[in-house]
Amino acid sequence: MLRLSKKMLFAIEAVVDIAYHAGGEPVQSREITRRQGIPRRYLEQTLQGLVRAGVLVGVRGPRGGYRLARERRRISVGEIVRVVRASETAEDPIADPAGSPLSHLVVRPLWQRLHDETMARLDSITVEDLCIAAREAGIASEAAERMDFTI
């Protein structure tokens, strides 16, 4: 069942931060930590999971960091949530075979429908949508500061 955890929140924030502040350059985890206040121990583990899942790409080297693996309009919040959920070890109470007929035939199906509706909604929200919301909220992007038009 879907439950908002710190790890899930940090993962969404980190991906949006990378999309919003990258400006074509990889974003270093220390920059994300500085901007978002995400503890580094959570962040690195989360970013590596997103790399393994193909949401992000890790770039090695002194100017390395992370960048999106695809266009931000092609990454949904639902995809990020699924990556984090797969790494969390909490048991899903819906899958527990114990329970009464009322639980199995009425309550759990209700919860499953709500979960499916929530995931469908999260699948319809892209990282691009969240970047647009950040711009509309007046959050300055550091990508503009990095652009160098020297010829």
* Mean of per-residue pLDDT scores for the chain: 89
Within a domain: 1? no
Within a domain: 73? yes
pLDDT in tens, 35-45: 999 988 889 99
Number of domains in the chain: 1
Would you state the pLDDT for residue 97?
A: 78
Segment 41-52 shows an average pLDDT of: 92
Within a domain: 151? no
Within a domain: 91? yes
Within a domain: 52? yes
Segment 73-82 shows an average pLDDT of: 97
Q: Which domain holds residue 104?
A: 6-146
Within a domain: 103? yes
Examine the pLDDT at 77 and tell me if it is beyond 50. Answer: yes
Q: Which two tokens stand for residue 115?
A: 């979960």
Would you state the pLDDT for residue 47?
A: 95
Distance CA 68, CA 121 (A): 22
Examine the pLDDT at 78 and tell me if it is beyond 80. Answer: yes
Residue with the larger pLDDT of the pair 145 and 133: 133
Tokens 């469908």 identify what position?
A: 120
Would you state the pLDDT for residue 122?
A: 97
Within a domain: 72? yes
Examine the pLDDT at 117 and tell me if it is beyond 70. Answer: yes
Would you state the pLDDT for residue 1?
A: 62
In which region does residue 67 sit, left (phi positive, over 0), alpha (psi from -120 to 50) or beta (all else)? beta
Interhelix angle 127-136/6-21, nearest 10 degrees: 70
Determine what percent of the chain is predicted with pLDDT higher than 90.
Answer: 68
Alpha helices in 75-140 (DSSP H): 77-87, 101-102, 108-123, 127-136
CATH number for the domain harbouring residue 84: 1.10.10.10
Within a domain: 106? yes
